[in-house]
Structure 1
C-alpha cells in the first residue's frame, strides 16, 4: 500500500506519470482552456494499471502459485477504503442539499459504484434525453469498474496458465490475441455504438493489456541511457500532444487512443527514475495522491454545476483547492492509515472488515433509493419543479427518430394532415402546441430526427452517435416524402440550428464543436456559417414553391437544466429565475434570423417567432408564475409549449400559399 520512495521497488517514473494523468483529467473537467484532450489521462491510467497488475501476477507465476483471492484482497485494500469514504460522504451530505430526484439518482449510482458495475449503469443511461453528465456525482467511477472487472479476469488467465503449465511465451501470445481482438472491437464499436465503446471492458481491455504486455519486452536496464531518454521524450510527446490536440469530435476509444496509450507505454518502458519529467517533488506528491485526487475531483466539478457556477474562475479555483484538501485527508486516513490496518490483518478478518465497511453506504443508498430520495426535506414547490418531466409525450417520443434514413410518419390528431412538423427534437417538442392550434378534424404529421435540421447537401459530423445515424439520408427521404403529399399540406420547419453551427451550449466550452460541413461532396466551404445560412434559404424556398411553409425562430437555449437549477435555487433560498441575455441569444442565432428573413423576402415563407412570448429585448425568461418554461436546458416544458399555442393558432389561420404568394400582407411573427 505504501507509496514511499524509500521502498526498494518504488518507481518514481510511474508515480510522476500518475501525476500527469490525474492532473490532465482534473484540469480538463474544470474547463482549462487548451486542454481539450485532457480526458486521455484515464487511458494513461489504464495502461499503468495493466502494467502494475500484470507485474504482480508474474511474480506469483514465477513463485509457482497464482492466488486469485490474495490478489483481489490486495486490490480491495487499495481501492475500497477511499471509495467507501467518498460514497458515504456524498450520501450523508446529500441530505442537506440534494432534492429527492437528485438524491435517489445518487443512491442508485452509489450502489452501482460499490458493486463495480457503474460503467454498465452509465452505459444504460446514455441517450439523447439523458441527464447531463455533470449531474452525476459518481460518473467518474466507471473507470474504476472497468479496472475491477479486469482485475477479476486477468488473474483467472494467469491461474489457468499456471495450472496448465504454460510458459510465458504462450501466455504472451494469449494476451496479445486478446489485445488485438479488444482493439479491433474498440475501433468498430467507436463508430457503431460509441457509448458501448466508451464504457465497456470489452473495448477498453486492450489499453490495460498493452501495459501488461510491456513485461514481454526487454527491461529498461537493457536499454542504453540515450535510448531510454529518447523513448521517454517520445512518449511524453505523444501523451502531451494528445492532451492538447485531441478533442471530443473523434470517436473514442479507437485508433486515435493509440497515441496516448503508446505514449504512456513508452514512458513506462524507458523507466527513467531521475527524469525532470517525473521526478520533481510536486509531481511525486500529486502522484502518490492521484487515486484520492481522482475520486474527489469530479464531485467538486459537479458541485459547481449543481450551484450554477461552472465556468466562473473564482468558484473553479475554490473547487480546485477544496478538492486538494479533501484528497489529502482521504489519502492520509483512508488510503494510508486504513490501508495499513487492513494489511496487518489476516485475509478472513480483512474481508470481514471490508464487508462491514461496505455495508454502511450500501444500506444507506438502498434505503434512500427505496424512499424515492427522501421527499419532504424541501419546500413542496421546489421538489415539484425538480420533478418536471423532460420527456415529450409517449406518442411523440415514439415517433422521434435517432437512427436510420426515415421516420414512422406519425399523425397526431383526427382527420387528414394540415401541416407537417419537420426538424429535430425541437420540432418533436412542439407537436402538442401545433396539434392544439389546428381546427377540429385536422392532424399534424411528425417528421423529427435527433439533432437533424432540414438541410440538404450537408455532411453531419456525429461522433457520439451510432453508425446507423443518417441525418443526410433522412433529409433526402423527407424531401421525397413531402413531394408526394397534397399541395395544401403545409410544412413547419423547426430546428436548433446553432447546435450544428457551434455545438451544444450546455457543454463545457472546449466540448462545443461544430457538427456540420457543407457541401456534402468535395472540400468543405471555409465559410461554414454563410453556406449553412444559404442552404437554409434554398431548401425552405424549394419547399415553398410547392406548398405553404412556415419557419419557427430558434427557441432560446438556456445552457443550464432549468427545472433542476430553479429548484435548487429555491431550496437554497435564492432567486429562481435564470434568464438568458438577449445578446447571448443573438450571438448564437442572429445568422439564422437573417437567413429566415431572406427566405421570407425571397419566397414568401412565413415566420413564427416564439421569442415574442419568451423574450423582452433584454433577456429571455425561463419561468412564469414560479413554474419553469423549459423541461431541460433547451426544450420547452409543457407550460412553455402551452404558452405558444395562441401564436401557432394565429399563424395557421392565415397560411401562405405555395409559390411564395402570401394570402395577406400580414406576418405571424414579431420581427426584432
Structure 2
C-alpha cells in the first residue's frame, strides 16, 4: 500500500519532462517482484495477468449462460478494460521512453491481435443468419456486423436501445459493445500520449485528468441524469476504467523510485507482505462485485469501482504475491486466459442463436453444451488462426489482408441491413414458407396499436402530469365527460379501440409513460421517473375527477399485486368508476416469430388462428388474470379480462386475417389496431 500512497508524491515531484523509468539490462531480475520489462527491454510476460483474464471471461460466460449463479458476472468486462489499459499503456510508455514507438507498428499489432478471431466470428454469424434468421432479424444482424467490423457496436446499440428494442438475448453480437470501446480507446489514447510526450507534459497528469473527467461524467449520467444506457455504452463514461490501468502502468514503471523513497523514509515494510495483502484486497473487491452487483444496479456509476479497483490491486500486487503466484498463475487459468478473447467472441453468439432457434431461453443442458462448444471453437481459433498470424513475419501484408477482410464483411453486413435482411432468402432452403406466413412477415408500422398520435388534454385545467406534446380538446369534445386511460404502453395500445368504441360518450385522455405501471410508489430499477410521474398523474386525477378511470398495464412485467393499494387510495379519494384491465397474452420473442417456429415444428401450412405454442413464461398471464379478478372483486372494482376475450381452450388468437396488420400483436404483446378494436369492442358498454 505504501507504493500506491507514494505514487501521489511521485505525481507531484516528477518534472514534466522526466523520462519513464524502465528496467535496465544490468538490473537483476529479482530486484523487483513487479518488474515489467525483460532484460531485452520487451514487455515481460506475466502469467497471473492471463489468470486474471481467465477470471474475467469466466465471470462473463457464466453470467450469460447461468445469470442466477453470479448475478454480477458482467463486471468481467470492466476487468478486461483495466487489463487493456495497463498493458497497452505499458507498451506505449516504454516504447516512447526508448524512442521505439511507431503508430504503424502499434496498429499492426492491434490488427493481428484482434482482427483474425473477429472476422471468423462475424463471418460465422452471417452464414448462420443466412440460413436461420427471418428478414428483420437478419437485417439487424447485418447492422451489428457492420458496427462490429467498424468498432462502433457500442454506438449502434446505444442508438437503437429503447423500450421497444429487441430483447438482448436475440442480439448475437450484443457483446461487441465492449470491443468498440476498447478500439476507440486504442485510437484516442496513443495520440494523446504522444502529444503529451512531445510537449513534455507529465503522463501521469494526462491519465489522471482523463480518468477523473470520465469518471465524473459517468457518475453524473448514472446517479443524476439517470441516463443508464448512455453511461453503459458511451466511451466517454467508460474511458476512466482503462485509465485506471494506464495510471497503474505509469506507477509500476516508476516503482523502483518509489521503493527507494520508502527506504529513504526509514519505513520498514516487507514488500512481499504488502503485495500479499494488496492481492487479497483485490480479490475481495471482485467477489463483492460479482455477488452484490446485478443487472438492476445503477451501473457503471460508483459500483464499477469494485471490479476496476479489484483488478488494479491484483495487477499491482505482482506475479510473486501468493494469490497471483498460486491461483492466478495456475496452468488451467493461464490457458483459459490465453483463449479468453476468442472465447468472449464465440460464447454469446452461440447462446443467442440457441435462444433465437428455440424462441425462449434454452435449457440448462443446451446452454452447458453451448459453452463447451465455445471453448472448443475458441481453442481452435487461438491455435489454428491467432497464433500463426501473430508471428513476426510479413506483418504489413497480414495486416493489410486482415483489414480488407474486415472491411468486406462490414460492407456485406451493412448491405444486408440496407436491403431489409435480404428477403429473397425466404424462398430458399428451410425458408420455403407458406404464402400466408410470408404475407404476415411484411411489416406495416402504421398497423401498430401504438400509432396513436399526440395525446389530448383539457388545456383549461392544470397540465400537471400531462404527456409531452399533448394537444387541447376542442370545445365540442369538452362537452363530454372525461375518460382517463392510465398505464404503460399496454394501456396506450387500447386507445385506438377506446376511441372507436367510446368517443361518442367520452373525451378520452391517455395518461402514463412507457415502461411505467400505474402503481403509486413503485420504484423500478433504471426507471426512477415513474414514481414522480405517477404522483403527478394521481394528483391530476384527483383535480379533474374523470367520469371513468381505466387502468391497464403489462402486469406480467411488474409486482402487479401492488396495484391494490393504488386502487384503494383512488376509491378513498372518491374515484368510483374504475375499470381494471387484466394482462394481455405475451409471446416469447414476438408473435410472428412463434408462428414461424410453430411452422418449423410441424410443417403445417395452415397457419393457426389460435395457439398456446410460444406464449411467454408458461402462460403466467392466465394465472395473473385469475388472481387479479379476485382482487378486483374484493375491493369492488370492475375487472375486464383480456385473456377471456382473446383466449379459449384452443389457445389465444394469433391473427384475424392474412396480413401483418391482422396479427394479434406487432411484437411480443403490443396490439395491432385490429386487435385493439376487437378487444375493446368486447368491453362493457358503460
TM-score bracket for the superposition, by shorter chain length? 0.7 to 0.9
Distance 1:572 1:359, change over 3 A: farther
Q: 1:319: Cα distance to partner?
A: 1.3
Equivalent residue, structure 2, for 1:295: 345
Of the candidates 584, 596, 599, which is equivalent to residue 555 of structure 1?
584
1:242-641 correspondence to structure 2 within 5 Å: 242-272=289-319, 275-307=325-357, 308-340=359-391, 343-347=392-396, 349-376=397-424, 377=426, 378=431, 379=433, 380-388=435-443, 392=448, 395-396=451-452, 398-399=454-455, 405-408=465-468, 409=470, 415-416=477-478, 419-438=483-502, 440=504, 442-456=506-520, 458-463=521-526, 465=527, 470-485=529-544, 489-501=547-559, 529=561, 532-542=562-572, 545-546=574-575, 548-570=577-599, 577-579=613-615, 584-585=620-621, 588=624, 591-600=627-636, 605-616=637-648, 628-641=663-676
Distance 1:35 1:334, change over 3 A: same
Q: 1:373: Cα distance to partner?
A: 1.3
Q: Secondary structure at the match of 1:551?
A: strand
CA deviation map 1:606-626 (0-9, x unaligned): 221111123337965656678
Structure 1 Cα separation of the partners of residues 50 and 496 of structure 2: 57
Indicate if the aligned counterparts of 1:411 and 1:445 stay in contact, CA closer than 8 A.
no
Distance 1:557 1:572, change over 3 A: closer
- TM-score scaled to structure 2, two decimals? 0.80
Question: Between Structure 1 and Structure 2, how many residues are aligned?
Answer: 598
CA deviation map 1:220-241 (0-9, x unaligned): 8967222222221221121122
Q: 1:289: Cα distance to partner?
A: 0.3
Of the candidates 222, 229, 232, which is equivalent to residue 195 of structure 1?
229
Distance 1:369 1:636, change over 3 A: same
Structure 1 Cα separation of the partners of residues 197 and 563 of structure 2: 66
Structure 2 Cα separation of the partners of residues 643 and 578 of structure 1: 22
Unaligned residue ranges in structure 2 (runs of 5+): 1-41, 260-269, 458-463, 608-612
CA deviation map 1:146-205 (0-9, x unaligned): 000100111112211232234xxx110121011111111111111321111000110000
Structure 2 Cα separation of the partners of residues 583 and 360 of structure 1: 45
Q: 1:441: Cα distance to partner?
A: 7.2
Distance 1:130 1:495, change over 3 A: same
Distance 1:412 1:103, change over 3 A: farther
- TM-score scaled to structure 1, two decimals? 0.82
Indicate if the aligned counterparts of 2:646 and 2:652 stay in contact, CA closer than 8 A.
yes
Unaligned residue ranges in structure 1 (runs of 5+): 1-6, 503-528, 656-672
Comparing 133-142 and 438-447, the one that deviates more: 438-447
CA deviation map 1:344-393 (0-9, x unaligned): 1243x344212322243134223323332111323244444445567845
Equivalent residue, structure 2, for 1:134: 169
Q: Secondary structure at the match of 2:579?
A: strand
CA deviation map 1:517-548 (0-9, x unaligned): xxxxxxxxxxxx5xx254133134246x3453
Distance 1:387 1:334, change over 3 A: farther
Equivalent residue, structure 1, for 2:21: none
Structure 1 Cα separation of the partners of residues 440 and 645 of structure 2: 21
Distance 1:386 1:26, change over 3 A: farther
The structure whose Rg is larger is 2
Q: 1:571: Cα distance to partner?
A: 5.2
Indicate if the aligned counterparts of 2:583 and 2:624 stay in contact, CA closer than 8 A.
no
Indicate if the aligned counterparts of 2:486 and 2:510 stay in contact, CA closer than 8 A.
yes
Distance 1:173 1:588, change over 3 A: farther
Q: 1:39: Cα distance to partner?
A: 0.3
Structure 2 Cα separation of the partners of residues 218 and 363 of structure 1: 42
Cα RMSD (Å)? 3.0
